[in-house]
Amino acid sequence: MSKADAAAGILLVGVTFYALFGGADFGGGVWDLFAGGAERGERPRALIQRSLTPVWEANHVWLIFILVVLWTAFPEAFYAVMTTLYVPLTLAALGIVLRGAGFAFRKSIEGLQGRRAAGATFAISSVLTPFFMGAVVGSIASGNVPADGNGDAFSSWLEPLPLLTGAMFVATGAYLAAVFLVGDARRAGEADMERYFVRRALGAAAVAGVAAAAGLVELHAEARYIFDRLVDQGLPLVILSAACGLALLAVLLRGGRRPLRPLAAGAVVAVIWGWGVAQFPYLLPTSLEIGAAAAPDPTLEVVFVVFGVAAVLVLPSLGLLYALSQRDLLEHEH
């Protein structure tokens, strides 16, 4: 494996963690949006608030990691993406800012109307932000980002595959969040909330499945290179994802307790790594290969050193945070 391929692997690791933790974070906001009126949605929103409060800021560490690695290790690809897809990226960044502000202020702001406005900002941004992020990924997969950058600002992502990918990002985040919230409701002894989120996990799985099937059709039409590799080299990972998804549905329908989260994570991780295998050896299919886009070896070596330091210092800290949160050992807002 070349140094450039190793750096691409590190980038894919960051994407995987952000898809899991950031996706579930956004998904909680999706269920907040669809929880209903103040009285009907009070208990689901309270559970979502308790689950997100300890970790919502930490989840975006992975996005920063992705951007820094892409910018440092693959500057040509970073330039091409940023100068072509700046519209959806700007909208996603704006959504992250508005979402954080809405989540932070909706419990502390005075006045019912102000709290509702902050809550609506949080919830709506939780849908729009992953949608635009998915549109960026779909546009890259479609080959709509030219290697020299400065592609069309709108037609590059306003096409069926990018839009379907955006919808799949939203549905997948909602699916992950619902599964995670099932476990949180069980620990809290709220059986009705457990059933509530089981139904929503099943619904989100169905929507994500439909979006994925439609996406495969469009992938065949718009990105044949990736489609062919996905059903060839990436097929074992596609099968693994489907197996995890079906096993999770069976556990939910039986009312089982374990292993919900590993199965949900496995289904999503397999899809992400299947996409990575299908896109290889390109960063921008089929115009910019990983080796051609990579920074000089000394720069890549610095990336490896920083990644090693982060793995030793940051990963255990984040792991401790998530473990304490899952065991309800952190103080919650009341």
Looking at residue 329, its pLDDT comes to 64
Looking at residue 330, its pLDDT comes to 62
Looking at residue 317, its pLDDT comes to 85
Mean of pLDDT values over 246-259: 86
Distances (CA, A) of 119 to 37, 99, 105, 124: 12, 9, 8, 9
Joined tokens for residue 325:
């949160």
Looking at residue 328, its pLDDT comes to 67
pTM of the model: 0.93
Mean of pLDDT values over 266-283: 96
Residues of the chain with pLDDT > 90, as a percent, come to 76
* 144-146-150-155 Cα dihedral, nearest 10 degrees: -10
pLDDT above 50 (res 250): yes
pLDDT above 50 (res 289): yes
pLDDT tens string 177-215: 999 999 899 888 999 999 999 999 999 999 999 999 999
pLDDT tens string 63-92: 999 999 999 999 999 999 999 999 999 999
Asked if the bond preceding 236 is cis, omega within 30° of 0, the reply is no
Mean of pLDDT values over 22-43: 92
Higher pLDDT, 257 or 4: 4
Joined tokens for residue 103:
């989540």
pLDDT above 60 (res 333): no
- Range scoring the smallest mean pLDDT among 60-64, 153-157, 216-220: 60-64
Give which of 272, 250, 275, 314 is closest to 13, Cα–Cα.
272
pLDDT tens string 103-156: 888 877 877 788 889 999 999 999 999 999 999 999 999 999 999 999 999 999
Which contacts (CB < 8 Å, 24+ apart) does range 7-12 have? 7/69, 7/73, 7/74, 7/294, 7/300, 7/303, 7/304, 8/73, 8/74, 8/283, 8/290, 10/69, 10/73, 10/303, 10/304, 10/307, 11/66, 11/69, 11/70, 11/73, 11/74, 12/272, 12/273, 12/276
Mean of pLDDT values over 40-60: 84
Taking CA 210 as the corner, what is the angle to CA 205 and CA 211, rounded to the nearest 5 degrees? Answer: 95
pLDDT above 70 (res 262): yes
Q: Map tokens 């894919």 to a residue.
A: 12
Looking at residue 256, its pLDDT comes to 75
Asked if 244 contacts 252 with a C-beta cutoff of 8 angstroms, the reply is no
Give which of 149, 155, 133 is closest to 79, Cα–Cα.
149
Looking at residue 334, its pLDDT comes to 45
Using CA atoms, how far apart are residues 273 and 322, in angstroms rounded to an integer? 23
Confidence of residue 322 (pLDDT cuts 50, 70, 90): confident
